[in-house]
Amino acid sequence: MNKRNKYCFGLGTVGRDMFYTLESMYLLTYLTEVRHLDDAMLAAVGGLLTVLRILDAFNDPITGILIDNTRSRWGKFKPWMLSGSIVACACLLLMFAPLPAAGLSYVVLFGICYVLWDISFGVDDIAYWSLLPALSTDQAQREKLGAFARICANIGMYIIVVGVIPITGAIGEAVGSEQKAWFILAIAVCVMMLATQLITLVGVQEDRSHYKDEERTTLRDFVRVIFGNDQLLWTTISMILFMVGYSTTTSFGTYFFIYAYGDEDMYSIFAVVLGVSQLTALLLFPKFAAKFSRKKLYSIATILVVVGYIVFFFAPMHMLPIGVAGVLLFIGQAFIQTLMLMFLADTIEYGQWKLGRRNESITFSVQPLINKLGSAIATGVVTVTLIISGINQAADASQVTEQGLLIMKMAMMIFPLIAIVIGYVIYLKKYKIDAKLYQRIIGELTARGDLK
């Protein structure tokens, strides 16, 4: 794998993750803290988001079929990346537009925009990540490429996480409107999304000469790929549980610092500490991967996450113990996210070995499905928690009771901890593609003429 492909692939997701983070982590914050939706409107919009995300998640494998069947002069993936990113940007701008937020008409308009956003971003996401296994079949090369891509993704994410509060605050003061400030931020994020996607579209050179030509994928083939590939199925279940926990915790971030810690400005400082820790972990991932097996790395990462959640739950409202808990959590989560990407990539060759078809896009269509299901459940948990804890109706931290704070901490820390540990146990019991089996698979695929 040449360096051009590595850097152009990885850099392409900086803007994508800025874009996705603004929606996945801060759309509810925007609706509750900027648009000030009451409990009834929040329940309607939050319930709508939860249901639509779950329904649309199951649309992604169909998108994978379409991408797998694409034959164009620009390759399988790039036409979908371009079209998906353009439509998704238009929809995001409508969701953050300073329109009147009242009544059924707003809920309907918001729902339409969200569905179109979800579908179009899913198209882009499936096509983008399907490129990764198409660029190399070597596990070590994939680990380096995946780690670099996750570094770039986390840079994009933390630009938003660290900057969202000070940036919208500064713009809001300049233009005299908090709603307009968020809309301007959304415009800037869309520009970054399209600009970095162009780096991948123009810079990555896909070479499919190593793979034999395959017949077009049918709906029956899709069912066979998903349910016949047992390793893909167990990886998907494990990843969904991890993403439920991860998304729930991160979605509570701003609310924790506003209503529990009592200082919204400390959220950005906390995010800087986490960002540096997570990026350092990702930079070191290839070195750890060369020294330890993936199973051992996953075990170490899970221990860090468990200890982090326990410290976080019992920590007093001081930055030092909260910061230590956050560092443990996000170093562990950085390793798990990268490992999950590697597990998913390796199920492609496993499926080709077992079922006779490669199907990168169908396999990687489970990634947005995982993200959407995780985000849907997190949205539902956060929405219900904000309402029953009294946080949504509170003007500031002084109006939230101790019981309300405990409800938020249970939802933010204990529920995610349980989900992530169950996902880890499923991996231990069911995932069997280690380095020895993978090398056997590659050898047999090469001997069969499926790889060249």
Architecture category of domain 8-202+218-446 in CATH? Up-down Bundle (1.20)
Sign of CA dihedral 58, 232, 379, 23: negative
Query: Model pTM?
Result: 0.78
Q: What is the pLDDT of residues 307-361, one digit of tens each?
A: 999 999 999 999 999 999 999 999 999 999 889 988 988 898 898 898 887 777 6
**113 Rama class: left (phi>0) / alpha (psi -120 to 50) / beta:** alpha
| Amino acid present at 69 | N
Residue with tokens 């793979």: 211
- Residue 93: CA count within 13 A, CB half-sphere: 13
| Residue scoring higher pLDDT (365 or 233) | 233
Structure tokens at 432: 């069997």
Residue with tokens 């101790």: 402
Q: Which of 133, 141, 129, 64 lies closest to 347 in space, CA to CA?
A: 133
Q: What is the pLDDT of residue 42?
A: 86
Coil, helix or strand for 211?
Answer: strand
Longest Cα–Cα distance in the chain: 69
**Domain extents in the chain:** 8-202+218-446
- Residue 392: CA count within 13 A, CB half-sphere: 23
% of the chain with per-residue pLDDT over 90: 49
Q: What is the pLDDT of residue 244?
A: 95
Torsion of CA 15, 17, 18, 20, to 10 degrees: 120
pLDDT of 115 strictly over 70: yes
Burial 373-384 (b: 16+ CB within 10 A, else e): bbbbbbbbbbbb
Coil, helix or strand for 376?
Answer: helix
The stretch 437-450 carries a mean pLDDT of: 88
Q: How many contiguous H segments (helices) and E segments (strands) does the chain have?
A: 18, 0
